[in-house]
Chain A
Amino acid sequence: MNTSHIRHGSLAAGLLAGTLLTGCAGTPARNAQLDQARSDYAAANNDPQVTRAAPEQLRLASANLSEATALQQQKAPQADVDHYARLATTQVVTARQLTEADASQAYVKQAGSQRSQMMLQASQQQTQRAQNQAATANARADNADAQAASAGAQADQAQQQNAALLTALNAKQTDRGMVLTLGSVLFDSNDASLNASGERSLDKLGQFLRDNPKRNVRVEGYTDSTGSAAYNRDLSQRRADAVRSALVDGGLDAQRATTKGLGQDFAVASNQTASGRQQNRRVEVVISDADGTFPATR
């Protein structure tokens, strides 16, 4: 605002003039413009929002009201009284506009801090959501890890058991798979049936096959070169069948074992010596891989 006013001068002047000029008139008539101005001013002045937001305008209005009042008492021309009353009225309206501006600015300030609060809340929500997602993902990962570890442990355990059993069975790893050799001492001569030692050997194999239900066996019979090839094939087949029967009698599902008689082929020792011939008289039980397949076949 670029106007200021005489605070005390006009009041003093009015009073002084009033006392000197009382001879001019009796009681002043009412001035509607002045009454309105007084009423407007009083209302604004009683409003704490207005007195806080626009004190300067209210002071200006008040001073103009005083001037108008003084002029009224002096029976000055009504146009003069009207003028100052109108100035006061306009200044009260200005005071109210300034109060509006003040209120809006206060709102903007308050809304600004509200906005900050909501931004904080929104970002906290985002963080919380991200944390929840991460926690869920972590839990799933942990679960998967646990399952994998458990499966791994089971696999290790199975492998250890197999290794132990295979050692106990005295089986050897070949390109055909694990091979358990049942020697000729387990058979009576020229006979296809297993003796007591042979049956004991098969007990361990039977246990292994019970513990590893996915494994299968191929039972292959062999002979030395004594006799004809046809005779030897037949003999070797009958020995292989005898071993298979013994396994099935021990509880093995018949579908898990096949037999083959290979006769005097695939000799493992020289047929010129007695001990060599003894070694060639044998049954080999080929044990499949853990999933039941055979890597190679004869």
Chain B
Amino acid sequence: MKMRPIASIGTAAAALSAILLLAGCSGQPPKADDSLVRAKTAIDQATLAGAGQYAPMDLNNAQSQLQAANTAQASGDYKQARYQAEDAEVDAQLALARTQAGKSAEAARQVQQGNQALQNQVDSSNPPQP
């Protein structure tokens, strides 16, 4: 799990290796409710920023995956729930980034148009030298 802070890195390393040792070749991670919370927070943040307009597909993916994660959690499939919550979270963060890119691009276009108009005005007052 690569998305939350942990107090002691050493503890984490020990815990994880212990788990892998016990589980053999496949891992069985514990219940992780906070991944669901983090996904929800990220989706809300993206929505607030305007992802519904600038990144509707990414936002929609995130929302569907969170829904599936909640379902999996409710039916006791914790690993599935965590994976789907993690997917939801990264998709929501992508939605937010895409929204920021879209808004900035719009601002850049407006400024560029404004400057072009100003340049035309300056040029028209300065007839070209023969």
Chain A residues in the interface with B (C-beta under 8 A) = 1-10, 12-13, 16-17, 20-21, 24-25, 57, 60, 63-64, 67, 71, 74-77, 80, 83-84, 86-87, 90-91, 93-95, 97-98, 100-102, 104-105, 107-108, 111-112, 114-115, 118-119, 121-122, 125, 129
- In addition to A63-B2, A77-B26, 16 A-B residue pairs with Cβ atoms within 8 Å of each other are A4-B5, A6-B6, A13-B16, A16-B20, A20-B20, A67-B2, A76-B25, A83-B83, A90-B90, A93-B94, A94-B94, A101-B103, A104-B101, A104-B107, A111-B108, A111-B112
Residue of B nearest to A87 (CB): B90
- Kindly identify which residue among B27, B91, B112, B122 contacts A121, using a CB–CB cutoff of 8 Å: B122
**A37 and B12 alpha carbons, distance in the complex (Å):** 25
Taking the closest CB of chain A, its distance from the CB of B130, in whole angstroms, is 19
**A84 and B2 alpha carbons, distance in the complex (Å):** 9
Which residues of the other chain, B, contact A118 by a CB distance below 8 angstroms? 115, 118-119, 122
Interface class of chain B by DSSP: helix
Contact assessment for A107 and B108 in the assembled complex, using a CB-CB cutoff below 8 Å:
yes
Which residues of the other chain, A, contact B26 by a CB distance below 8 angstroms? 76-77, 80
- Kindly identify which residue among B9, B13, B94 contacts A90, using a CB–CB cutoff of 8 Å: B94
Residue of B nearest to A100 (CB): B101
- In the complex, whether B21 has a CB less than 8 A from a CB of chain A is yes
Contact assessment for B115 and A12 in the assembled complex, using a CB-CB cutoff below 8 Å:
no
Chain B interfacial residues counted at CB < 8 A: 49
Which residues of the other chain, B, contact A119 by a CB distance below 8 angstroms? 118
26 A/B residue pairs, CB under 8 Å, sorted by A: A4-B4, A5-B3, A7-B9, A8-B13, A9-B9, A10-B2, A13-B20, A16-B20, A20-B17, A76-B25, A83-B86, A83-B87, A87-B2, A91-B90, A91-B93, A94-B90, A94-B94, A97-B94, A98-B97, A104-B101, A105-B104, A105-B107, A108-B108, A111-B111, A111-B115, A122-B121
